[in-house]
């Protein structure tokens, strides 16, 4: 029952529409629309919840209590914050490029939302199961660089400019180890389709066969989302807030929420590629697959948050050096070893 | 050949990492610093001039407002200068209370420096952990003096009041806990790989330059110069305590940071000894001084080891009840002298690391 909760809702909707006598194509389109809206709502609410979670995790790590006034256990704190930010005036700096300046915080959400279309949250629970799912996700996700750059450039502030130059340098450098890290998994699974990759992990998760790839992916992914210890982009003690320096009110909140949505993307991706997606470990099948998916995803998000509240920030030259001198060669070596290993296995006929 | 252009960046006065209203006009080539021009004076209140129209006692609260993070040490420097000028003998018990509250102030200042330095480098948790203990120190100082930051506890000839009942036991309790806390900082901040990568061999100072630029305090000692006034020229009763002077080797940001951490351990040692010794000392906490202070016509210079470095007070008396001139040698200001050359060739992120490691407080820089 619970296992097929969401699939069941979709089927029920389909049969309901089928009873109306409208053409099948239109029915399918409506179901698709409902699915996408559901995902959008889910992401936005989840981003709010993640902000709350971050603040709580930080508070407990720092011997504090954290938000506890608005709503039960402070759960409505971020909602109240967003309400406040919406009501604020959007200040546009005098010499800013108005159109681009206002467009950037709107567009920043686009790639993030688009990638969620292919993520399978449970058994048969992807909006679209594309045959080049992984490729699509990586391609779309890397688009967000452009919008950070837009915001930073249009602000016409030196701090924003330095920040957005850092974004471009950092994202381009870390895209490479990210993709190369995933390549090991794709080689073993032999497919770019998300469902195939998850199916290939039914017995062994790829984190056990590809541990180095997991570490490379996870490090690069944390850097991709500009999280600590790679948060040079917004490094508040150096360049105030990087590309967001000149933004206020909801425009700032959009960047902020996009960051959390991005964390969700990278952790969902890590779950799919390395932690067996929605597969239940130890044969604990009675728990629905989507619960497993979220458990794994949130465990990873928790790790990302812990990293942030433990480590200081690294410097820009060290950041570049780490990517090009450590992660990229390591990822290439991993691909090489994976290739040899696969050949040996084939030769043995295992 | 690609033609590049240098540009200016106003680093401050409204910037989270300049530790107050301090401005550095950076000339940058990309992210690399070509030239740095420190601009101070945004917090200038003319304390030295104000002192000229106040009586000797009334100057004490002004000294608080300089290095408000270690206010007791600022008080102490001034009152000891005036005592030297007038030849006043301070009672034993007052001397011990001065040591305890002074070292607590130093502890508070170093805790803040340690925590804020972690924040400068990007680690937020270290900052709040240091503040947790600083809060305890602040509570103790509040109980003793009635104020958290601007203590004004020292008086010419002694201290304002004796310690309240049970206060010394509370201090002792904190001092027993402190080594554990310091281990925690070492685990979270000092030992961190990224922290060390960011601070080691950054902003190095040779002993010669440090001496030539008349730097003092942990900044000087991190370069390996063994010069702590508490040891070299003990003032008050510092010669009765057994403690070490932590020294650095490379004179880099890490050594300056770590010197402070180890100085905290030494402060704890001094306070523990002082608490043991004060038990046997009873009596008044302030000497018999006349109501109206009229020092003889002369001048005096007295310096002590403050949390930031050597703070010196030059007091000139014309025989009236107000000082003719008060000049303060402020360590934060003098330690900033070498900033420009220290920053050249480093990246923007290092500006924060280097400035933070000097540990300035703007109230003192601008006076």
CATH code: domain of residue B316: 1.10.645.10
Model's pTM, two decimal places?
0.87
Q: Which residue of B has its CA nearest to A230?
A: B122
Mean pLDDT, residues B162-173 taken together:
89
Cβ proximity of B234 and B352 under 8 Å: no
Q: What is the pLDDT at residue A3?
A: 66
Per-residue confidence (pLDDT) for residue B314, from 0 to 100: 93
CB contact under 8 A, A310 and B188: yes
pLDDT of residue B301: 92
Q: Which chain B residue is nearest to residue A316, measuring alpha carbons? A: B349
Q: Does residue A171 form part of some domain? A: yes
- Residues in chain A within 8 Å Cβ distance of B15: 240
Ranking A195-199, B75-79, B271-275, B296-300 by mean pLDDT, the lowest is A195-199
pLDDT at B356 over 60: yes
Q: What is the pLDDT of residues B118-142, one digit of tens each?
A: 888 888 888 888 888 999 999 999 9
pLDDT exceeds 70 at position B39: yes
Residue B162: is its pLDDT beyond 80?
yes
**pLDDT at residue B234 is higher than 80:** yes
Q: With respect to residue B80, please indicate whether it lies within any of the assigned structural domains.
A: yes
Domain contains A197? yes
CB contact under 8 Å between A237 and B129, yes or no, is no
Q: Which of A232, A238, A312 minimises the CB distance to B123?
A: A312
The answer to the question of residue A51 being in a domain is: no
Among A62, A237, A312, beta carbon nearest to B194: A312
Rounded to 5 degrees, what angle do the CA atoms B66, B179, B244 make? 70
**d(CA A155, nearest CA chain B) in Å:** 15
Q: Quote the pLDDT of residue B315.
A: 92
**Is B1 inside a domain boundary?**
no
Q: Do B347 and A317 touch (CB under 8 A)?
A: yes
Give A316→chain B minimum CA distance, Å. 8
- Residue B339 belongs to domain spanning: 7-366
Q: Is B144 left (phi over 0), alpha (psi -120 to 50) or beta?
A: alpha
| Closest-CA distance of chain B to residue A170, Å | 14
Structure tokens at A146: 């452009």
Tell me the mean pLDDT in the region B84-92. Answer: 89
Q: A237–B188: do the CB atoms touch at under 8 Å?
A: no
Domain assignment present for residue A304? The answer is yes
For residue A237, list chain B residues with Cβ-Cβ distance below 8 A: 16-17, 119-122, 352
Ramachandran assignment for A74, one of left (phi > 0), alpha (psi -120 to 50 degrees), beta (any other): left
**Cβ-based contacts of B128 with chain A (< 8 Å):** 62-64
* Chain B residues touching A235 at Cβ < 8 A: 122, 349
Contact across the interface for A158 and B7, Cβ inside 8 Å: yes
Q: Are A129 and A195 in contact (CB under 8 A)?
A: yes
Q: Which residues of A touch B198 (CB under 8 A)?
A: 312-315, 318
Measured distance CA(A316)–CA(A169) in Å, rounded: 9
Please name the residue of chain A whose CA is at the shortest distance from the CA of residue B120. A237
Per-residue pLDDT at B300 = 92
Residues in A closer than 8 angstroms to B188, CB to CB, are 310
pLDDT for residue A2: 65
Q: What is the pLDDT of residues B43-71, one digit of tens each?
A: 888 898 999 999 998 999 998 888 888 88
Pairwise CB contact (< 8 Å): A315 & B349? yes
- Partners of A317 on chain B (C-beta within 8 Å) are 347
User: Which residue of A159, A237, A240 is in closest CB contact with B122?
Assistant: A237
Give the A-side interface with B, CB within 8 Å: 58, 61-64, 158-159, 162, 228-229, 231-232, 235-240, 309-318
Residues of A in contact with B16 (CB under 8 A): 236-237, 240
Print the domain residue range for A174.
88-348
Q: Tokens for B295, please give them.
A: 């020092």
Q: pLDDT tens for chain A, 350 residues: list them.
A: 566 777 777 777 777 777 777 777 887 788 778 877 887 888 888 888 888 888 998 898 888 888 888 888 888 888 888 888 888 888 888 888 888 888 888 888 888 888 888 888 877 777 677 888 888 888 888 888 888 888 888 888 888 888 888 888 888 888 889 888 888 888 888 888 888 888 888 788 888 888 888 899 999 888 888 887 888 777 777 777 778 888 888 888 888 888 888 888 888 888 888 888 777 777 777 777 788 888 888 999 999 888 888 888 888 888 888 889 998 999 999 999 988 988 888 888 76
CB contact under 8 A, A312 and B348: no
Give the pLDDT score at A350.
61
> Considering its fold, how many domains does chain A have in total?
1
CB contact under 8 Å between A237 and B198, yes or no, is no
- B288 pLDDT more than 80: yes
Cβ-based interface (< 8 Å): residues of B facing A = 7, 9, 15-17, 31, 118-126, 128-129, 132, 188-189, 192, 194-195, 197-198, 347-352
Count how many domains chain B has. 1
Cβ distance A62 to B124 less than 8 Å, yes or no, reads yes
Contact A237 B352 (CB under 8 A): yes
In a domain, A180, yes or no: yes
Query: Cβ–Cβ of A315/B120 closer than 8 Å?
Result: no
Dist. CA A272–CA A194, nearest whole Å: 7
- The shortest CB-CB distance from A312 to any of B31, B198, B348 is to B198
| Mean pLDDT within B340-364 | 88
In chain A, residues with a C-beta closer than 8 Å to the C-beta of B351 are 238
Within-domain flag for B2: no
Q: Three-state SS across chain B? A: CCCCCCEEEEECCCCCCCCCCCEEEEEEECCEEEEEEEECCCCCCCHHHHHHCCCCHHHHHHHHCCCHHHHHHHHHHHHHHHHHHHCCCCCHHHHHHHHHHHHHHHHHHHHHHHHHHHHHHCCHHHHHHHHHHHHHHHHHHHHHHCCCCCCCCEECCEECCCCCCCHHHHHHHHHHHHHHHHHHHHHHHHCCHHHHHHHCCCCCCCHHHHHHCCCCCHHHHCCCCCCCHHHHCCCCCHHHCCCCCCCCCCCCHHHHHHHHHHHHHHHHHHHHHHHHHHCCCCCCCECCCCCCCCCCCCEEEEEEECCCCEEEEEEEECCCCCEEEEEEECHHHHHHHHHHHHHCCCEHHHHHHHHHHHCCCHHHHHC
**What angle in degrees, to the nearest 10, is found between the helix axes of B92-121 and B167-185?**
30
| Tokens at A261, concatenated | 């949505």
Cβ separation A312–B122 shorter than 8 A:
yes
């Amino acid at each position: 029952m619970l296992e097929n909760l969401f699939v069941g809702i979709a089927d029920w909707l389909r049969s309901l529409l089928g009873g109306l006598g409208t053409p099948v194509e239109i029915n399918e389109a409506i179901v698709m629309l409902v699915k996408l809206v559901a995902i959008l709502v889910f992401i936005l609410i989840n981003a709010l919840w993640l902000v709350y979670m971050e603040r709580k995790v930080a508070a407990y790590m720092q011997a504090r209590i954290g938000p506890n006034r608005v709503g039960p256990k402070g759960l409505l704190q971020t909602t109240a914050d967003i309400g406040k930010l919406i009501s604020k005036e959007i200040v546009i700096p005098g010499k800013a490029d108005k159109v681009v300046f206002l467009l950037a915080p709107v567009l920043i959400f686009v790639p993030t939302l688009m990638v969620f279309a292919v993520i399978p949250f449970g058994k048969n629970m992807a909006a679209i199961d594309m045959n080049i799912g992984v490729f699509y996700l990586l391609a779309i996700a890397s688009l967000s660089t452009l919008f950070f750059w837009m915001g930073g450039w249009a602000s016409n502030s030196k701090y924003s400019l330095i920040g957005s130059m850092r974004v471009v340098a950092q994202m381009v450098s870390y895209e490479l180890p990210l993709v190369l890290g995933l390549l090991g998994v794709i080689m073993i699974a032999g497919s770019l389709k998300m469902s195939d990759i998850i199916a290939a992990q039914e017995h062994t998760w790829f984190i056990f066969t590809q541990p180095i790839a997991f570490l490379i992916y996870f490090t690069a992914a944390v850097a991709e989302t500009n999280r600590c210890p790679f948060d040079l982009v917004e490094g508040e003690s150096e360049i105030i807030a990087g590309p967001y320096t000149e933004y206020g009110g909801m425009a700032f909140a959009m960047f902020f929420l996009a960051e959390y949505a991005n964390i969700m993307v990278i952790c969902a991706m890590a779950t799919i590629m390395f932690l067996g997606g929605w597969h239940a470990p130890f044969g604990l099948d009675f728990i629905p697959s989507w619960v497993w998916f979220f458990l794994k995803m949130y465990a990873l998000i928790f790790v990302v948050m812990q990293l942030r509240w433990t480590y200081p920030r690294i410097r820009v030259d060290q950041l570049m050096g780490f990517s090009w001198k450590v992660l990229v060669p390591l990822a290439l070596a991993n691909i090489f070893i994976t290739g040899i290993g696969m050949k040996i296995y084939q030769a043995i006929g295992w | 050949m690609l033609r590049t252009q240098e540009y200016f960046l106003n680093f401050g006065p409204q910037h989270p990492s300049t530790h107050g209203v301090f401005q550095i006009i950076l000339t940058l080539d990309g992210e690399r610093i070509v030239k740095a021009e420190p601009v101070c004076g945004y917090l200038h209140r003319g304390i030295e001039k104000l002192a000229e129209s106040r009586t000797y006692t009334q100057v004490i609260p002004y000294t608080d407002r300089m290095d408000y993070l270690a206010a007791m040490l600022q008080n102490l420097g001034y009152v000891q200068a005036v005592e030297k000028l007038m030849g006043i003998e301070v009672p034993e018990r007052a001397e011990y209370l001065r040591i305890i509250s002074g070292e607590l102030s130093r502890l508070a200042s170093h805790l803040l420096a340690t925590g804020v330095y972690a924040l400068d480098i990007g680690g937020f948790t270290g900052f709040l952990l240091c503040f947790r203990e600083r809060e305890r120190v602040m509570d103790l100082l509040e109980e003793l003096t009635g104020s958290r930051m601007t203590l004004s506890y020292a008086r010419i000839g002694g201290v304002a009041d004796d310690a309240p009942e049970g206060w010394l036991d509370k201090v002792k309790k904190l001092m027993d806990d402190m080594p554990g806390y310091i281990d925690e900082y070492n685990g979270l901040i000092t030992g961190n790989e990224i922290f060390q990568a960011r601070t080691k061999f950054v902003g190095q100072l040779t002993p010669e330059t440090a001496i030539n630029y008349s730097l003092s305090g942990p900044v000087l000692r991190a370069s390996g110069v063994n010069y702590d006034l508490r040891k070299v020229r003990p003032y008050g009763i510092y010669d009765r305590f057994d403690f070490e002077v932590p020294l650095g080797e490379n004179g880099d940001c890490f050594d300056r940071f770590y010197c402070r951490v180890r100085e905290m351990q030494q402060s704890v040692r001094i306070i523990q000894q002082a608490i043991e010794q004060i038990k046997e000392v009873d009596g008044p906490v302030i000497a018999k001084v006349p109501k109206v202070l009229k020092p003889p016509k002369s001048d005096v210079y007295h310096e002590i080891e403050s949390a930031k470095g050597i703070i010196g007070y030059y007091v000139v008396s014309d025989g009236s009840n107000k000082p003719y001139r008060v000049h303060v040698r402020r360590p934060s200001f003098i330690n900033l002298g070498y900033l420009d050359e220290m920053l050249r060739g480093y990246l923007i992120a290092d500006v924060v690391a280097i400035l933070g490691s000097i540990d300035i407080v703007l109230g003192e820089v601008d006076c």
